[in-house]
Structure 1
Amino acid sequence: MELFLRSWAALRTAVADLSDEDLARPSGCAGWLVRDLVCHLVIDAQDVLITLVTPTEAATTRTAASYWEVADAPPSGDDPLDALTVRLAAAYGEPWLLKFHLDDVGSAAGRAAELADPALRVSTRDVVLTAGDYLHAYVMEWTLHHLDLVAHLPKAPRPPAEALAGARALLEEIADAAFPASWTDEDALLVGTGRRAATPEENAELAAAGVRIPLVLG
């Protein structure tokens, strides 16, 4: 729960500090500008709010790790829902409106998470998991998208160290293998999820560690 709050607060702060020019730069997500990614975060925040008020008596079917499904290939950027996000982002017109909406909905999502009972079972995407596991799964979402946000913004703040470490640990649980200990958490996340190509040396280390990449999460 604490990692969710810290990673989400850091991401929202990074967005709040963006200039209009920053929002028009490419993000680390294929086919999306930074403003498109911010629009996606608004939708994510709405999903968090909806899920936390969708309790169920059904038995849990997923954990924080198994919540994520591993796809065969990274998104190409031409998915209809991705295109819809681009149109929604453009519809805001003034960049400050988009940032305001994220701050408004994002703050509410943070408060809802802080008030949630970690043991509460919730339903989302046709699966059931505890609120604690659901919020822990979102540490991965916030941290990876924070890296996407700053991919072409070298002066922007990076994700907090504890969020990077938490997301790496969850990614290793998903992979059922540990990334080389010499790797930084950021490199493990970027290379592990296919956001950066591995060097020949890194590929050799991954092979020795038994880690298969990329782990495309969806």
Structure 2
Amino acid sequence: MDLFSRSLGELLDVVERLTDEDFGRPSGCAGWLVRDLVCHFVIDAQDVLITLVTPAPDEPTHDAVTYWRVAHEPADDPLSALTVRLAQAYGEPWMLKFHVDDVGRAAQRAAGLAAPDARVRTQDMVLTAAGYLGAYVWEWTLHHLDLVAHLPRHAGPSAEALARCREVLEQIAGTAFPAGFSDTDVLLVGTGRRAPTAAERAELGELEIPFVLG
């Protein structure tokens, strides 16, 4: 749960330092500008706030790993186009920066107040609060990489967050990625954000990639 708050905080700190020009640059999410990705953070933070106040009496059905649905081909996401239109509606970058900081810091505070073993419901799943927030470490970390993909002057995710997300992807894959892959390479190649080099492809062997998590 602490890693959730730290990874979200690091992400929000980068957004705060973005220039107006940065918002018009491409992100690591195919088809999305930085502006669109930051708008997605607003929606994610709202989801966190909603879920943490949606208690469930049932036993947990999922955890921080099984929360993610896995495919090997991207699926059509109707919310993607909506996110782009919503991002455009903000008009000025400062409006979007203000909103994402407002709801993002609120999500941080809510996470700090949540009981780790409290059960919450989201998307027909029941998780402990700790499991749910643990799942979101993946979301913040991968999208932090997306945010700085074409903005090299900004810092990327922490080593701790990258290592944790590598563990998640390896649990999903059912095998470890080659030791020569950095944690960042594992996430970028494993999710199809970067094509493997010929040497990397040889090291990966028969491991099927990318893993599209949603």
With the shorter chain as reference, the TM-score category is: over 0.9
Report 1:195-206 matches (<5 A).
195-206=193-204
What is the CA distance between 1:157 and its match in structure 2?
Answer: 0.9
What is the CA distance between 1:170 and its match in structure 2?
Answer: 1.1
What is the CA distance between 1:64 and its match in structure 2?
Answer: 0.7
Alignment-derived partner of residue 11 in structure 2:
11
Amino acid corresponding to residue 164 of structure 1 in structure 2 = L
Alignment-derived partner of residue 24 in structure 1:
24
Change in Cα spacing, 1:75 to 1:10, as seen in structure 2 (3 Å) is: farther
Alignment-derived partner of residue 45 in structure 1:
45
- Sequence identity (%): 67
The CA distance in 2 between the partners of 1:8 and 1:175, in whole Å, is 25
Amino acid corresponding to residue 58 of structure 1 in structure 2 = D
Report whether the alignment pairs 1:216 with 2:212.
yes
Alignment-derived partner of residue 106 in structure 2:
108
Checking the alignment, whether the CA contact within 8 Å between 1:30 and 1:75 is kept in structure 2 is no
Q: Deviations over 1:79-130 (max 9, x none)?
A: 4311110110011111001000000000000000111111011100111111
What is the CA distance between 1:212 and its match in structure 2?
Answer: 2.2
The CA distance in 1 between the partners of 2:173 and 2:136, in whole Å, is 17
The CA distance in 1 between the partners of 2:55 and 2:196, in whole Å, is 41
Residue in structure 2 matching 1:145, options 136, 143, 146: 143
What is the CA distance between 1:197 and its match in structure 2?
Answer: 0.3
Amino acid corresponding to residue 32 of structure 1 in structure 2 = W
Amino acid corresponding to residue 64 of structure 2 in structure 1 = A
The CA distance in 2 between the partners of 1:121 and 1:67, in whole Å, is 14
Checking the alignment, whether the CA contact within 8 Å between 2:188 and 2:194 is kept in structure 1 is yes
Could you say what the CA RMSD is over the residues aligned between the two structures, in angstroms? Answer: 1.1
TM-score normalised by L of structure 1: 0.95
Runs of 4+ in 1 over 6 A off after TM superposition: none
Report 1:46-61 matches (<5 A).
46-61=46-61
Checking the alignment, whether the CA contact within 8 Å between 1:3 and 1:166 is kept in structure 2 is no
Checking the alignment, whether the CA contact within 8 Å between 1:178 and 1:211 is kept in structure 2 is no
What residue ranges of structure 2 are gaps of 5+ in the alignment? Answer: none
Helix, strand or coil at the partner of 1:129 = strand
Amino acid corresponding to residue 216 of structure 1 in structure 2 = V
What residue ranges of structure 1 are gaps of 5+ in the alignment? Answer: none
Amino acid corresponding to residue 44 of structure 2 in structure 1 = D
Alignment-derived partner of residue 135 in structure 1:
133
The CA distance in 1 between the partners of 2:9 and 2:207, in whole Å, is 31
Alignment-derived partner of residue 63 in structure 1:
63
The CA distance in 2 between the partners of 1:216 and 1:173, in whole Å, is 14
Amino acid corresponding to residue 204 of structure 2 in structure 1 = L
Aligned residues: 214
Q: Which deviates the most, 174-183 or 49-58?
A: 174-183
Alignment-derived partner of residue 86 in structure 1:
84
The CA distance in 2 between the partners of 1:17 and 1:75, in whole Å, is 32
